[in-house]
Amino acid sequence: MLFLWLYMFYSCAGSCAGLATRGSPAPPRVAPPLPQLLPPAPGEPAEESSLEEQRAAPDAASPISSFFNGSGTKRLPQAIIIGVKKGGTRALLEFLRVHPDVRAVGAEPHFFDRNYERGLAWYRDLMPRTLEGQITMEKTPSYFVTKEAPARISSMSKGTKLIVVVRDPVTRAISDYTQTLSKKPDIPTFESLTFKNRTTGLIDTSWSAIQIGIYAKHLENWLLYFPIGQILFVSGERLISDPAGELGRVQDFLGLKRIITDKHFYFNKTKGFPCLKKAEGSSKPHCLGKTKGRTHPDIDQEVVQRLRDFYRPFNMKFYQMTGQDFGWD
């Protein structure tokens, strides 16, 4: 009986449709509309490309397809943590990712220093998808000391917000050396690398561990392309002693509601820095990995003092440029 009913139904489908339209003119055939192309996301440069390229581009998804994918749209970052190495950039990024309106790349893209020839489309494809009102971010600490990075980021968007996490340059240099030592145990001592000539006390500024800490010099390059108000300087020391306070400043700078507060942190005495009570997408406490918080080797205090004397004038200039006293002396 069921088969008979199905047979009658499908047999009638064509003829019944014909009867329903008989006596009335057939509607004109209309070509299906072309897919609507999305305009560039806010802050992105308009890219010249063919219709076929834009249709094929994975980032040219319509709002409807994005809704069904449940994942939003890929955008170029509106904010970038540009430095500095061993300053606390990883901690800052992990803390920020707790905020529901921050979406960030986990790995360092190194686009503006190592992969620039791959193009903005490649860069944008690395970004997480965001919904309206969310901020796309990435962090690559080496950008701060890369001469070409300011012009390249400005070319992408002059409105990009920049964040620099800075730390006592002497402590930062020792931390940098400690990281290298963990990978290459046979490298020369910190003391021997610090000086071109230890007898005269001439500091070797060509050594990257020393050179990165001359913050004023690097900042001058950035100020050629960005106003000082578009760069936020986060204290690596206060990020440890008062993470909620520093995160409050960052959230204000990014135009975000202050959601990350004291209740999100606890202090891990073993590691010596704050950890998250709940990480992004998890209900469990989270601390940075074992590569963070390494014990520093003992450094000759005479060498430490020589370095403090060397950095002092640069620190003073940096304080003047930023309007902040970081208290490194």
DSSP string, 247-276: HHHHHHHTT------GGGEEEETTTTEEEE
66 or 153, higher pLDDT = 153
Q: What are phi and psi of 288, to 5 degrees?
A: -65, 160
Predicted pLDDT of residue 295:
81
pLDDT recorded at residue 293: 56
Residue 326 near residue 166, CB atoms below 8 Å: yes
Q: What does the pLDDT look like over 191-202, one tens digit per residue? A: 999 999 888 889
Q: In this predicted model, what pLDDT tens digit does every residue of 196-252 receive, in sequence order?
A: 988 888 999 999 999 999 999 999 999 999 999 999 999 999 999 999 999 999 999
Q: Which CATH number fits domain 73-169+212-296: 2.40.50.140, 1.10.260.40, 3.30.499.10, 3.40.50.300?
A: 3.40.50.300
pLDDT of residue 39: 33
Q: Is the pLDDT of residue 150 over 90?
A: yes
The full set of domain ranges for the chain reads 73-169+212-296
Whether 86 is a known active-site residue: answer yes
C-alpha–C-alpha distance, residues 270 and 162, integer Å: 32
Residue in 86, 147, 183, 290 annotated catalytic: 86
Supply the mean pLDDT for the chain.
Answer: 81
Annotation: binding site = 86-90, 167, 175, 292-296
Q: What is the pLDDT of residue 44?
A: 34
What is the rounded average pLDDT of the residues 298-306? 95
Percentage of the residues of the chain whose pLDDT score is greater than 90: 66
- State the binding site for 3'-phosphoadenylyl sulfate: 86-90, 167, 175, 292-296
Other beta carbons within 10 angstroms of residue 274's beta carbon come to 22
* 13: enclosing H helix or E strand: helix 2-21
CA distance 11 to 5: 10
